[in-house]
Structure 1
C-alpha cells in the first residue's frame, strides 16, 4: 500500500530518533490491530502492544485541534506519549511515541499531528477503495466464470470461494438447494466443511436459520455466538450432529444467510460462516452475499437451460441416428424385397426363392412346406435334425420365432459341438404354412440377417399361399371333371375318361372322405391341401385323381393286383388314426368297391359316399369299407336317433326293471350271438340247457314274440345287432 509507506516515511522524517507504533481499528475490526512499528522486536500480535489504559479512554475525545481532518487527543504515560485519532464514526487509530533519550523533546504541534491524521484518513480511504475494488474484481470474475463455464459444480465452488475472499470476516460457506422429492434443503456445495459429512445435513423448510430464510425470503446476519445459538434452537439433534461433525460449532461466532431465487420462486439459500476470523460482518457484506446469491441463481438457471438444451440435442442426435438406421433398414428391406419379389413374379418356384434367401443370409437354411410335406432344398443337412412329429410338437402351435439348441452326434457316437437353430414359422392368419430353419453358432442374428429373413419370410409365405390358391382352383376343376365323368354315358364317357387318363377295361375304386368339426374355413382349406398331398404320397402309382372340395375329399384309385381294396383301407386306416389323434378336426373315410369298367366308377363313388354317411350318422370317425357294412347298408340313411328309438322299443320290457331282467337280457344277446345254438349258448353262459329253455320261454312271454316266427326273429336279431354296435351307449 503506497499510503502506508508514505505514512511510515513521514513518521521517520518528522520524529527522527523516536520510536513509534501505530494501531488502527476500522468498522470491520473487532480489536485494534498493529499497523506500523519502528521497533524491530515487535512480534506483530496486537495484544502485545495495546496499552493497558486504552480501553478506558473516552469513546469520543475532545480534539485539541480544530481542523476537520481527524479529531485527536494526546495522553501522557511516561516514558510514552499516545495520540488517539477518531477517523470516522466506526474507525479510530492510536499512535505511540517513545523518545530514545529520557530528556529528548517531542515536537507534537498541531501541524504535524494534523498531517499525521490526514495520512491516517487517507490510509482508511485507501483500504476501503481496495476492499471495494477487490469485491468488484471478484464479482466480475464470478460473472465471467458463469458465462465461460458450464460445469455447475466448479462454478458454484468458485462463487463461494470468491465470496470468502471479498468478505474478510468469512471463512466457510454452504449452498443449500431445495429437493422437492425429499422436501428438504440439501447441501449442493460446501467450502471450509468436511464434505463427506456435510452432505448428510438435510433441513426441513422453516428449520434453523437456513430453513427460515428459505421460508420467508428475508436475509439474516448474526455477529455473536449467542445470537446464532438462539436462532438455531429448533435445529434437530441429528442435523446438529452432522453440522458439528463437519465443523465445530463452538467456534462459530458470525453467520450470514440469504435466499437464492429464480424470479419469484425460491430454490435455495447461501450461508456464510465465521469461525476463526477476527473481523465482523457488515451490512454491506450482506448485500454482497445477496449479489453472489443472485449470480448463483443465474448459474443454476444457465446449468438447467444447458442441461435441457444438451438433453434436447442428445435426443435430436439420437432420433437422427434412429431415423438414419431406419432409413438404411428401409433401403435394405426394399433391396431385399425387390430381389425376392422378382423371383416370385418370375414363378421360379419355392425352391429358387429359398435358395436365394439362403445365399443372402449366408447360413445353412431349410424351408419346410407344411402343406405339401416337402423340404427346400431337398438335400439340406438340416433335414435330418427333426422328424415331422418333432416339428409338429415344436412349431405347429407356436406362431412365434424361437431358438433351439441342438447337439448332434458324430459317426462314432460322440456328441458334436452344440449349435443353435432359429425356427421362424410361416403363417397366413391362423393357418400354419411351414417354417424356416436357420443354423447359427450362437442365438443371435445380425440386423441385416434379421431384415433379410423377415423379408424372405413374407415372400415365401406369399408364394405358399399362391400355391395353395392355385391348388384350390385345380381341385375345383378336378371336381367338375370328375362329376361330369360320373354322369357321362357312351362316347362322352369314353372321351371324359381319356381326358383324365382312364383305361376302359381297368378296375377302379373310389375313396370319399369328409372333414368334421372344422369351423375355421381357412384352416379347413389348408387341411384339405395337406390331405391331398399326403394321399398322393401314400398311393403314388395307384391314384388317378385326387382333389378336395369344400370339406370333402375324393380319390380314384386304379385297383390292380397290388392295390386290393382291403390294403387301401388299411393304409387309409393308419392315416385316419394318426390324423384324428394329432389334428384339431376329425376325418371320416369311406371306401367303395373295386369294379371293372368305366361305368362302374359312379357305383364305387356312391358306395364310398354311403360309407361316409354311415359313419357320420353314427358320429364316428375313421375308415369303413362299404362292402363290410353288411346289413348296415340297409340302414345307412337311418339316423342314430331313429336306430336308438328302435332298440329302446324292443328292449323296453328289460329296461323297465333292469335289476330283475338283466340276466334275461344277457341271455338274449348271447343266444343271438351264438346263432340261436342252444348248446353253445348254455356253454357260454355256464348254465344247464333246461335252464336256458326256461329263460327263452320267459323272454318270449316278456317281449311278446315267438322265436319260430321269422318276422319276430328278424326284429330281435336286428335289435341285438344295433344294441351290440352301440357298445352300451343306449
Structure 2
C-alpha cells in the first residue's frame, strides 16, 4: 500500500514537471515571437534552449548562407568571439551532417565526438578549440532547424559535466522548440528583408527625387545658357551666369590669347602657359596643383573643339571635390562655351580671309595709284621700305589643330611686332606679316622679333615653325616682288626640311634652283658624279674626299689635314676621282661643273 502511494506521489510529481515544462515551452514560444529583429530573436532562442536543456553549458546557432553554401554562426553562449569564424560546409563535421540529413545527433562520449569530427577542416577545428579553451566537451546535442521541408540551420548544445545528461523529455522539448524557433527565425528574416527592401525603396525614392531635381536644374541651366548664346550676349555673359549658378567660382582661361574671363589676379594666372602645356592633349578634367610663390590647387576642365583643337580651360580653385550641382553646371556650360568660342573663331577666320583676299589684290595691283588705294583699304600708308615675313607651321596633326596653333603663334607675335602701318593675319595654316615704313631702321628689330619667337616656339611645341623673310626698298605697284622673295626663302627651308628663320638675301646661289624639281637635281648629280655616285655609297671615301677638296677651294694641304691623310694619298685620290667622273679639274668648266654639283649635293641632298 505504501509502495502504491509512493508510486502515485512520484507520478504526480512527474506530471507536474511535464506541465511546468510545457508551460515554460509555451512561454518560450511567446517570448521568441515577441520581436521581429533577427539578431534579437536568435539571442532569445539560444537563451531559452539552454534553459530547456538544464544540463547544457554552452551552445550556438548556425544558419545556412546560400551565396557561400556554408553554415554561419549567428548566435552563441559559452564561447569566446573566436567561434564567429566558424564556417562549416554541408556534410562537414557534426553540424554539417545534421543539416545535410536532418537527423538529430546526441553524442555522449568524448571519443565518439572526436570520431564524428574527424572530417572537420583544420581551420574550423582550430576555431572550435580556440573558442572553448580549458573546457573538455563531454557530450553534444545537435538539432536541425527546419521551416516546413526547408532546413534553415542547426542548433548545437555542449555539455562539460559527465554526471548529468540530457533527458529524453529535454530532447523532445528541444525538438519542439526547434520547430517553433524555425518559425520565429523565418518571420524575423521576412521582416528583415521587408525592412531592407523598404530602406532600399526609400533610398531609391530619395535618389530619384534628387535626380529629377538635378535633371530639372540641368534643363533650366542648359536653356538659360543657350538663350544667352542665341542672343549673342558673348563669352563674358555665359561665364558670369555660370558663376551665379555655381557654389564655387569658375573662370575661363583662353589658350589662344592667354586671357582669363573674368579677369583674374590669382597665382594660377602666372602658370597658365604650363597648365595649357599640360592639358593641350587631354580631354578629361583633373585636379592639379600649381606652384608659383604660393601653391594653389584647382580643378581644370579642358575645352576642346571636337577631339582635335584645344581651346582653353574652365578652372575652379580649391582642392575639395565639386558638388553635383557644380559638376552639372560645368558639363552643361562647356559645350555652349565651346560653341561660343567657335563662333568667335569663325568671325576671326572670316576677317582674316577678307584681309588675305585684299592683300592678294594689293599684290596683284601694278599701277602705283591703284596700289596706293589698295594699301589704304588695308589700313597701310605706302612708304619706301617693305618688310614681309611668311610663317608656316608643320607637324603630324590635323589641319584644324595646325590652324589652331597658327592662331596661338599669331597672338604671341601680336604682342611683340609693331602693328602700326602693318598687317598680321593667318590663313590656311600660314601667318603673314607685312609692313611699310619710311626706312630700314627697324629692319633688325623686325628680324630679331621673328627669330626669337620662332626659336621660342620650336623649343616648346611639337608643331614646328619656319619663316621666310624679305625686306627691301618699295616702289609702288611692286610689293609682290618682296612677297615672292619671302615665299622663296620659306620654300628653301621647306625643301631642306629645316625649321627656323631664313632671309631671302641669305639663300645665296640656291635661289636659282628653288623651283627645280628634286628629281632634276638628283639627275644632274648622277650625271656629274658618274661612277663615283652610282657604284659606291653616297658617303664613300672618294665622294667625301671630293666634297672636302671643293670646300677647301682646291687646297691640297688643308684637305689632307682635314682628312688626316698624306698629300700624296690625296693626290692619288683626286686623280682617281677625275678618272671616274671623266673630268679634268684643271679645266675651268669641268671644275665649275663639279663645284656646282658639290654645292647642290650639300644644299639639297645631305
Change beyond 3 A, Cα 1:472–1:479: same
Show the counterpart of 2:41: 155
Matched, 1:639 2:508: no
Shift, 1:633, TM fit: 1.9
**2: CA distance, partners of 1:374 / 1:583:** 20
In the alignment, structure 1 segments of 5+ residues that lack a partner are 1-71, 73-82, 86-91, 95-116, 410-415
Show the counterpart of 2:549: 667
Change beyond 3 A, Cα 1:680–1:443: same
2:553 match: secondary structure: helix
Show the counterpart of 1:93: 6
Shift, 1:668, TM fit: 3.0
In the alignment, structure 2 segments of 5+ residues that lack a partner are none
Structure-to-structure mapping, 1:586-605, within 5 angstroms: 586-605=464-483
2:209 match: secondary structure: helix
Structure-to-structure mapping, 1:310-325, within 5 angstroms: 310-325=195-210
CA contact (8 A) 2:249 2:316 kept: yes
**1: CA distance, partners of 2:209 / 2:596:** 82
Deviation string 1:390-409 (CA, Å, 9 cap, x unpaired) is 34544334444344445655
1:514 match: secondary structure: strand
**1: CA distance, partners of 2:599 / 2:82:** 99
Change beyond 3 A, Cα 1:567–1:692: farther
Change beyond 3 A, Cα 1:196–1:337: closer
Q: 1:513 aligns with which of 391, 398, 402?
A: 391
**1: CA distance, partners of 2:574 / 2:71:** 108
Change beyond 3 A, Cα 1:560–1:324: farther
Q: What TM-score do you get using the length of structure 2 for normalisation?
A: 0.80
Show the counterpart of 1:216: 101
Shift, 1:546, TM fit: 3.2
Structure-to-structure mapping, 1:642-721, within 5 angstroms: 642-652=520-530, 659=541, 665-671=547-553, 703-705=581-583, 711-721=589-599
Structure with the bigger RCO (C-alpha within 8 Å, sep 6+) is 2
Structure-to-structure mapping, 1:496-645, within 5 angstroms: 496-504=374-382, 507-542=385-420, 544-561=422-439, 565=443, 567-645=445-523
1:372 match: secondary structure: coil
**2: CA distance, partners of 1:457 / 1:423:** 12
**2: CA distance, partners of 1:687 / 1:217:** 105
2:478 match: secondary structure: helix
1:594 match: secondary structure: strand
Show the counterpart of 1:480: 357
2:497 match: secondary structure: coil
Q: 1:471 aligns with which of 345, 348, 356?
A: 348
1:558 match: secondary structure: strand
Deviation string 1:447-478 (CA, Å, 9 cap, x unpaired) is 44444444444443332222222222223333
**2: CA distance, partners of 1:691 / 1:289:** 118
Show the counterpart of 2:188: 303
Structure-to-structure mapping, 1:411-430, within 5 angstroms: 418-428=295-305, 429-430=307-308
**2: CA distance, partners of 1:208 / 1:708:** 111
Structure-to-structure mapping, 1:56-71, within 5 angstroms: none
**1: CA distance, partners of 2:532 / 2:596:** 17
CA contact (8 A) 2:380 2:421 kept: no
**1: CA distance, partners of 2:493 / 2:275:** 31
CA contact (8 A) 2:542 2:573 kept: no
**2: CA distance, partners of 1:466 / 1:235:** 81
**2: CA distance, partners of 1:653 / 1:482:** 51
CA contact (8 A) 1:366 1:383 kept: no
Change beyond 3 A, Cα 1:627–1:565: farther
CA contact (8 A) 1:207 1:234 kept: no
Structure-to-structure mapping, 1:164-183, within 5 angstroms: 165=51, 174-178=60-64
1:84 match: secondary structure: helix
Change beyond 3 A, Cα 1:661–1:317: closer
CA contact (8 A) 1:138 1:162 kept: no
Show the counterpart of 1:84: 3
Change beyond 3 A, Cα 1:235–1:560: same
Structure-to-structure mapping, 1:223-238, within 5 angstroms: 225=108, 230=112, 233-236=115-118, 238=125
**1: CA distance, partners of 2:454 / 2:70:** 77
Structure-to-structure mapping, 1:126-205, within 5 angstroms: 128=15, 131-132=18-19, 134-135=21-22, 137-163=23-49, 165=51, 174-178=60-64, 185-191=71-77, 193-196=78-81, 205=90
Deviation string 1:385-425 (CA, Å, 9 cap, x unpaired) is 3263x34544334444344445655xxxxxx6x54344433
Shift, 1:661, TM fit: 7.7
Show the counterpart of 1:329: 214
2:401 match: secondary structure: helix
Deviation string 1:98-135 (CA, Å, 9 cap, x unpaired) is xxxxxxxxxxxxxxxxxxx6xx5xx9468637734752
1:93 match: secondary structure: helix
Deviation string 1:554-606 (CA, Å, 9 cap, x unpaired) is 33322443675554343322222233333232333222443524421222233
1:148 match: secondary structure: coil
For structure 1, which segment, 690-699 or 473-482, has the greater mean C-alpha deviation from structure 2 after superposition? 690-699
Change beyond 3 A, Cα 1:230–1:355: closer
How many correspondences in the alignment? 593
Change beyond 3 A, Cα 1:558–1:288: same
CA contact (8 A) 1:653 1:702 kept: yes
Superposed CA RMSD: 4.5
